[in-house]
A and B are shown apart, each in its own frame.
Chain A
Amino acid sequence: MTYEFDWSSIPGALPFLWDGMKISLVITAQAVVIGIVWGTLLAMMRLSSVKPLSWFAAGYVNLFRAVPLVMVLLWFFLIVPEFVGQLFNIPKGTDLRLSSAMAGFALFEAAYYSEIIRAGIQSVPKGQIAAASALGMNYAQAMRLVVLPQAFRNMVPLLLTQAIILFQDTSLVYVSALADFFGAAYKVGDRDGRLVELLLFAGAVYFVICFSASQIVKRLQKKYHPA
């Protein structure tokens, strides 16, 4: 008995799938932005000579890198909304799935970004900080004006690669039944009894997006670091 492919349910579902894609992209974009900002702060804390800050950053990074992403998402889906809801008096039944998914991703990704950024900061020669300090800049100015711009330039390919991985990982929000692109494809497939087709289609879309993005990263890398 052979399986007969039937792709007919896809065209009609495209608007719904596009809505899902928008959710995936929104989660990715905000997790990249917050992850990089919070990750930069974590990296600076980790490199700081103030011990408690450095311990906090190390603990944070080690915790988030040692637990599976799915679990973090479930924490933020199941536990945190209860807690936050009580704290801010949010009425029960408010849909916090998107916000909890976004918070989970941002905090999780910050741990990974902070390690990339820490390596980037350390790749800038120590003499640059000395020169900036010798010109009378304080630590914050030396970081912001001299070290971080050079660090980020070195890190751009790695940061983008991490963003691509993050985009793929957004599919994990299906655990909270949030209709991101993957979740939407699954729902349509389930409804029409065409799960195989829909999942193949979703896989192809993920492949095209991520593969093209990583080719662009490669180009950028060649352009900025012609080694």
Chain B
Amino acid sequence: MIKIANVSKHYGSFQVLKDCTTSVSKGEVIVVCGPSGSGKSTLIKCVNGLEPFQSGEIVVNGISVGDPKTNLSKLRAQVGMVFQNFELFPHMSITQNLAIAQVKVLKRSQDEAMDKAQADKFPGQLSGGQQQRVAIARALAMDPICMLFDEPTSALDPEMVNEVLDVMTELAQEGMTMMCVTHEMGFAKRVANRVIFMDQGAIVEDDSKETFFANPRSERAQHFLAKILHH
């Protein structure tokens, strides 16, 4: 479903991604973790072309993301994405947030789009957890072939983390193909098929979750796990 091959990216002389290679099969759930600044958010944003990359290739559902001839908008309409800061549109009601891209991008009728949800509140009136769940619903309303999550719970108060993770777990169990950048190791243990560990722009580990949590190969991953699994 998603193939990432030898992808590198620079900001000037600073290399954010170093020769990253991995793949996600249909129905697989991949968790990407690593210290901040390791390039995990950048990598996931390359998958739907929100971040350009200079070398390597990413193929999503048979379509090359880096190819200048690719209609990126069309590809993105099929790939759901959820952001750290929700990024709901604050000037639109929840209903409008859910309907806008269905109507304007997929050309569905207003009625058909509204069918999926009805809520007259505005994003500012919801809690962070509710906003993030709306953001997930907004992405799902497009009937995506896979979902990308960029630290979906990092901006949430602790008591709201679980309501978002529950939705993601349910989604994973329904067979959605997912690539999630997250520090929630409990979520990774429960639903991930594989865990990717990144450090300084490179993919250091790419293992089944059992291997990753039981005996990570690299010292860097051992350190990381020791730190975040402590509590």
Residue of A nearest to B88 (CB): A131
Check if B74 is an interface residue, CB within 8 A of chain A. yes
A150 touches B76 (CB 8 A): no
Which of A127, A134, A137, A146 lies at the interface centre, i.e. has the most chain B CB atoms within 10 A of its CB? Answer: A134
Other-chain residue from A134, A138, A149 in contact with B81 (beta carbon distance below 8 A):
A134
Q: Contact at B83–A127, with CB atoms within 8 Å?
A: yes
Tell me if B73 is interfacial: C-beta within 8 Å of chain A.
yes
Given contacts A128-B89, A145-B100, A153-B91, contact A137 B83 (CB under 8 A): no
Measured between beta carbons, the chain A residues less than 8 angstroms from B85 are 125, 127
Residue B77 at the chain A interface, CB threshold 8 Å: yes
Measured CA separation A225–B211 after assembly (Å): 53
By beta carbon, the residue of chain B nearest A135 is B101
Any B CB within 8 A of the CB of A68? no
For A, the interface residue count at a CB cutoff of 8 angstroms equals 18
Q: Is A141's beta carbon under 8 Å from chain B? A: yes
Residues of A within 8 A of B105 (CB): 135-137, 141
Interface size bucket, B side? 20 to 34
Contact of B77 among A127, A128, A131, A136 (CB under 8 A): A136
Q: Which residues of A contact B104 (CB under 8 A)?
A: 137, 141, 145
Instruction: Give the residues in chain A near B153, CB-CB below 8 Å.
Output: none
Q: Which residues of A contact B91 (CB under 8 A)?
A: 149-150, 153
Tell me the A residues contacting B by CB distance below 8 Å.
125, 127-128, 130-138, 141, 145-146, 149-150, 153
A and B contact pairs by CB, cutoff 8 A, 27 listed = A125-B85, A125-B87, A127-B87, A130-B87, A131-B81, A131-B83, A131-B135, A133-B76, A134-B48, A134-B50, A134-B83, A135-B100, A135-B105, A135-B139, A136-B73, A136-B76, A136-B77, A136-B101, A136-B105, A136-B106, A137-B101, A138-B73, A141-B104, A141-B105, A150-B89, A150-B90, A150-B91
* 5 further contact pairs, Cβ within 8 A, besides A130-B45, A130-B83, A145-B104: A133-B72, A133-B76, A136-B73, A136-B76, A150-B90
